[in-house]
Amino acid sequence: MIGISSIYWREAWKYGMRAWRYCQHDCGHAIAAVSYAAAALGWQSRLVLWAADDVVAGLLGLDRDADFASAEAEAPDVLLWVGNPDSPPELARLLDASRAASWHGRANALSREHVRWPDIDSIHHATCKTDTPEQLLPEPLSSQLPAAADPALDLSFAQIARQRRSAVDFDGVTHISAAAFFAMLECLLPRSHAPPWNALPTTVRVHPALMVHRVDDLDAGLYILLRDPVQLADIRQSMRSEWLWQKVGPAHLPLYFLLPYDLRDAAKLICCHQAIGADSCFALGMLADFDAALNEPWCYRRLFWECGMLGHALYLEAEAAGVRATGIGCYFDDEMHGLLGIDGHAWQSLYHFTMGGAVDDARLSTLPPYAFQP
Ligand SMILES: Cc1cc2nc3c(=O)[nH]c(=O)nc-3n(C[C@H](O)[C@H](O)[C@H](O)COP(=O)(O)O)c2cc1C
């Protein structure tokens, strides 16, 4: 079992109040990274969604105040079970064992001084998770999808995982083929035994809305991928009524063309004026089912995790297609909602992403991963 936790201060020193949501995005990326790595070894992985935060904290030793003393607090995020998904761990027994165990080590303080962000404490408390009885968890997925198409390049998983980096700049000219684009999107569909979705085999809550700039044989403009086509009527009536809703791509890919338009300026603006929104092959916002969080506040975290997992799949798919991606945590959600014609709260954009032909920054050097190993 793998536990994931966040030290909000690690992000807050730089990003202020946005730190909380970036920690949730990062948690989603970490879930996906573990799920892919486990799959590469032939193992299944699954989130232990029924565990309360107190249980996660107890198992990870995060509630041991004396061990943290003056160090920054560490918030429990989630447990990830790697193994046979049909025989999950008995948490109560593990917790008893960890309470009786001898713990070693003490947390070190990261900074001498801190800036307080009371809103981070507020959202942390508002989204705390208690035990969730298993019968209240959403139904597992039962997708009947064909296997995803092969990516453009024939690289090993290890190669892709180790070479993955974020693009800091795009060239503004690289195009990808429509086949490569569709193959990437296919990997975002929830297959209950394929990574990373085997880790979160429950109701789909996030759908990417795409601003396509440079995909061969595809009109530039606005598209949406409905990762669960059953939600079409709901999402459609939340958006501008003029959209085309024209189905494109392979039959089993629920991708819809909404508006032909050059959205490069809009994408740049939405990405907080970052040029990587416009110079990419495409940029996207992740529309999340906000009612889930309004009904059950801890699910706000889960929505961000799903977004992070989508982002991680895109990071790896980009490398497999010979291009590069970047997560966009800095974006204007109201601008994105304005573009889509969303005016209620039912669907909210919780993470953005962009992908294209990367321009390396010569000032940065990259060392080979695991170079320290003999
Ligand atoms: C949640 C998240 C949000 C990010 N937001 C931005 C962003 O708004 N702009 C940007 O240029 N990079 C962004 N990045 C990329 C990070 O700067 C990058 O992941 C980090 O510097 C580590 O580099 P690496 O991805 O190459 O390992 C984001 C990454 C993540 C995971």
How close is the Cα of 353 to the center of ligand 1, in Å?
A: 10
Do the beta carbons of residue 11 and residue 22 sit within 8 Å?
A: yes
Q: What is the pLDDT of residues 223-262, one digit of tens each?
A: 999 999 999 999 999 999 999 999 999 999 999 999 999 9
Q: Is the pLDDT of residue 372 over 90?
A: no
pLDDT value of residue 318: 98
Nearest to 204 by CA among 226, 222, 181: 226
* The CATH number, out of the four listed (1.10.1200.10, 2.70.170.10, 3.40.109.10, 3.40.50.2020), of the domain defined by the range 162-356: 3.40.109.10
- Three-class DSSP category at 38: helix
Q: Is the pLDDT of residue 137 over 80?
A: no
DSSP 286-301: EEEEHHHHHHSTTHHH
pLDDT value of residue 365: 86
Whether 327 lines ligand 1, by a CB cut-off of 6 Å, is yes
Nearest CA to ligand 1 atom 25: 166
Q: Average per-residue pLDDT in the chain?
A: 93
Q: Do the two domains 2-104+117-129 and 162-356 of this chain adopt the same fold?
A: yes
How close is the Cα of 325 to the center of ligand 1, in Å?
A: 9
How close is the Cα of 327 to the center of ligand 1, in Å?
A: 5
Residue 138 pLDDT grade (very low, low, confident, very high; cuts 50, 70, 90): low
How close is the Cα of 306 to the center of ligand 1, in Å?
A: 17
Segment 90-117 shows an average pLDDT of: 93
Give pTM, 2 decimals: 0.96
Nearest CA to ligand 1 atom 30: 327
> What does CATH list as the number for 2-104+117-129?
3.40.109.10
Whether 28 lines ligand 1, by a CB cut-off of 6 Å, is no
Do the beta carbons of residue 215 and residue 182 sit within 8 Å?
A: no
- Three-class DSSP category at 127: coil
Nearest CA to ligand 1 atom 7: 328
Distance CA 166, CA 323 (A): 10
Tokens of 297: 């506040």
Segment 8-30 shows an average pLDDT of: 97
- Establish how many alpha carbons lie within 13 A of residue 325's alpha carbon, considering only the half-sphere containing its beta carbon: 26
Whether 274 lines ligand 1, by a CB cut-off of 6 Å, is yes
Q: Is the pLDDT of residue 132 over 90?
A: no
Q: What is the pLDDT of residues 263-320, one digit of tens each?
A: 999 999 999 999 999 999 999 999 999 998 998 999 999 999 999 999 999 999 999 9
Q: Bigger pLDDT: 151 or 177?
A: 177
Segment 55-74 shows an average pLDDT of: 94
Ligand 1 pocket test, pick from 268, 326, 352 with the greatest ligand atom count within 8 Å of Cβ, gives 326
Whether 25 lines ligand 1, by a CB cut-off of 6 Å, is yes
Q: For the chain, what are the domain ranges?
A: 2-104+117-129, 162-356
Residue 155 pLDDT grade (very low, low, confident, very high; cuts 50, 70, 90): very high
Q: Bigger pLDDT: 8 or 373?
A: 8
Helix then strand count (H, E) for the chain reads 13, 10
pLDDT value of residue 48: 92
Nearest to 187 by CA among 309, 304, 80, 282: 309
How close is the Cα of 326 to the center of ligand 1, in Å?
A: 6
Whether 319 lines ligand 1, by a CB cut-off of 6 Å, is no
